[in-house]
Amino acid sequence: MSFLQDQLDEITSSARDLVPAERLAASEHAVAELFASGIVDKILPVGALLPDFDLEDNSGHAVRSADLLALGPLILKFFRGRWCPYCVTELETWRELYPRLREAGAMIAAISPQTRRQNDFLADQHRLPFPVLTDPGCELAERFGLAYTVPDYLRDYYLSVFVNLPFINGDENWRLPIPATYVISPAGLILYAQAHADFRLRPEPVEALTTALAAIER
């Protein structure tokens, strides 16, 4: 069995082999700044209540948090966008776990600031069977304490590698969420909360899955 983080470490290793160090320096500096900001210490914690939301999915349908919770324990996966290979790899891992999740009576939804069209491209290309929701301007991510503004020097780097966030996200604010995974009980209580300032690090999906399954058994 290949663990998710092993796959992500391979992406990092390949990037360091292929991309000049001076080009990677901007991304490394941005990660260090996020760490220094203490953003991870301020995320919505275990024990808090899920903020109500009503977001559009990749098919153009309105999806309410209450409707998702009615299906059982809910996993929410905040991700940066389809342009991020780390995010795509993580979502593909959840794709493989989805049948087990649904069979047990739990649900998952992925959330990003990119437009519905971008989310639809992602869901179609990577055969994602779960809802992929659009969070315009990272408004919901902000309520979870996950949102930040990409610094100017990193914007230049992104544009140089054809990551045009104003086009991808449909606005000019250059806001992104730090990647995060939440598990919420049917009553709306947060049971599991993991986020990383370093986008190259993600929790193993089985951790969140185990928490969701335990919530069903209670």
Q: Which residue has the higher pLDDT, 88 or 215?
A: 88
Across the chain, mean pLDDT equals 93
Extended beta strands in 70-140, E state = 74-78, 107-112, 132-134
Q: List the domain range (segments joined by +) for residue 63.
A: 4-217
3-state helix, strand, coil in the chain (%, to 5): 50, 20, 35
Average pLDDT of the residues in 194-198: 96
Quick check: pTM over 0.85?
A: yes
Split at pLDDT 50, 70, 90, the class of 87 is very high
Average pLDDT (143-155) is: 96
Examine the pLDDT at 1 and tell me if it is beyond 80.
Answer: no
CA-to-CA dists, residue 166 to 40, 145, 154, 161, angstroms = 25, 21, 14, 14
pLDDT tens sequence across 91-130: 999 999 999 999 999 999 999 999 999 999 999 999 999 9
CA 202 to chain centre: 10
What are the strands of the beta sheet with 190-195, ordered from one edge?
A: 62-64, 54-57, 132-134, 107-112, 74-78, 180-184, 190-195
| Angle at the Cα of 142 from the Cα atoms of 67 and 3, rounded to 5 degrees | 75
Measure the CA–CA gap between 42 and 40, rounded to whole angstroms: 5
Answer whether residue 178 shows pLDDT above 60: yes
Reference 76, options 60, 92, 91, 86; nearest CA is 91
Count of domains observed in the chain: 1
Average pLDDT, integer, range 177-188: 96
CATH number at residue 68: 3.40.30.10
- At residue 218, the pLDDT reads 64
For residues 21-27, give the mean pLDDT. Answer: 81
Structure confidence at residue 2 (pLDDT):
57
5 versus 125: the higher-pLDDT residue is 125
